[in-house]
């Protein structure tokens, strides 16, 4: 069974631009969560989607948004990029009824 | 506010010894606690989950304990190998664990 895939793996943007990251969960997993990882703040929860609905949201500004499609694939968008948005963005999928999350390899975003 | 502390940012041990990692939490009443392993530039990988009514859980060379009175979990790797070198993250969870909150992690280095 294929794991969680994320595209692109690396991205370089400049301040003020916007970016869209994509995540394909493991087949059969309907929950997709997004996390931001930085050296200073560690792994922080952004939001979680299930059946195209956002169920949980972390403490991030409205510039961070996401969505989920009917095939469970998810995208997250960051608008008006700031230098501090440079991070590894991870998505994780979860099978309903189970607690463990399966993470993708992440997208390394660098904002210049 | 909820707080998760993992012992020392870095832990070096000799190959063959037992590594013991600590996860302490405050202002939490987790129903279970998960441990993940993360290698540089990669997403975390689920290792073990222990529930509040379980004192100990084992998987091959890994052992996890959970003391809800002390609000602490210990993660042991016996007969450690250089391949065990990674950052280990704990995540106490309640409810459905869709929104994981991670500790800052302990970077373990097993020296040959």
| DSSP-assigned letters across all residues of B11-67 | EEEETTSPEEEEEEEES---SEEEEEEE-TTS--EEEEEEETT-SEEEETTEEEEEE
Could you tell me if A102 lies within 8 Å of chain B, comparing CB atoms? yes
Residue A80: pLDDT band (50, 70, 90) is very high
Residue B2 has pLDDT above 70, yes or no: yes
Residue B97 has pLDDT above 90, yes or no: no
| Torsions phi, psi for B13 (to 5 deg) | -140, 165
Could you tell me if A48 lies within 8 Å of chain B, comparing CB atoms? yes
Q: Give the pLDDT confidence of B19-73 residue by residue, as tens digits.
A: 999 999 998 888 899 999 999 989 999 999 999 999 899 999 999 999 999 999 9
pLDDT at B49: 94
The CA distance from B43 to the nearest CA of chain A, in Å, is 5
By the 8 A CB rule, do A68 and A49 touch? yes
Optimal mutation site among B98, B102, B106, interface A, most CBs of chain A within 10 A: B98
Residue A55 has pLDDT above 80, yes or no: yes
DSSP E strand stretches across chain A: 5-7, 10-13, 19-24, 31-38, 42-50, 53-57, 64-68, 74-78, 87-94, 102-103, 107-111
Contacts B46 to A, Cβ<8 Å: 100-102
Residue A73: pLDDT band (50, 70, 90) is very high
Residue A36 has pLDDT above 80, yes or no: yes
Cβ of A101 within 8 Å of Cβ of B46? The answer is yes
Rounded distance, CA A21 to CA A10, Å? 10
Q: Which residue of A has its CA nearest to B42?
A: A105
pLDDT at B103: 92
Rounded distance, CA B90 to CA B21, Å? 10
How much of chain B exceeds pLDDT 90, in percent? 78
Question: Which residues lie below 8 Å from residue A60, measured CB to CB, with a gap of 6+?
Answer: A36, A44, A46, A47
Q: Please count the other Cβ atoms lying within 10 Å of the Cβ belonging to residue B75.
A: 25
pLDDT at B34: 95
How much of chain A exceeds pLDDT 90, in percent? 89
């Amino acid at each position: 069974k294929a794991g969680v895939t994320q595209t692109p793996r690396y991205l370089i943007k400049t301040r003020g631009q916007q970016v869209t990251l994509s995540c394909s969960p493991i087949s059969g997993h309907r929950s997709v969560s997004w996390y931001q990882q930085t050296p200073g703040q560690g792994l922080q929860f952004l939001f979680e989607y299930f059946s195209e609905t956002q169920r949980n949201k972390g403490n991030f500004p409205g510039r961070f948004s996401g969505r989920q499609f009917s095939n469970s694939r998810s995208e997250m968008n960051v608008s008006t990029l700031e230098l501090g948005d440079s991070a590894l963005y991870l998505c994780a999928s979860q099978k309903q009824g189970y607690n463990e999350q399966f993470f993708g390899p992440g997208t390394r975003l660098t904002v210049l | 506010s909820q707080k998760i502390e993992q012992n020392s940012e870095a832990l070096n041990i000799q190959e063959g010894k037992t590594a013991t990692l600590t996860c302490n939490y405050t202002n939490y009443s987790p129903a279970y606690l998960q441990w993940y392993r993360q290698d540089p530039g990669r997403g975390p990988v689920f290792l073990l989950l222990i529930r509040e009514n379980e004192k100990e859980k084992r998987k091959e060379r890994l052992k996890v304990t959970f003391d809800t009175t002390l609000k602490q979990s210990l993660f042991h790797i016996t007969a450690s190998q250089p391949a065990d070198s990674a950052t280990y993250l704990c995540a106490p969870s309640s409810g459905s664990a869709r929104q994981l909150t991670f500790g800052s992690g302990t970077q373990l280095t097993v020296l040959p």
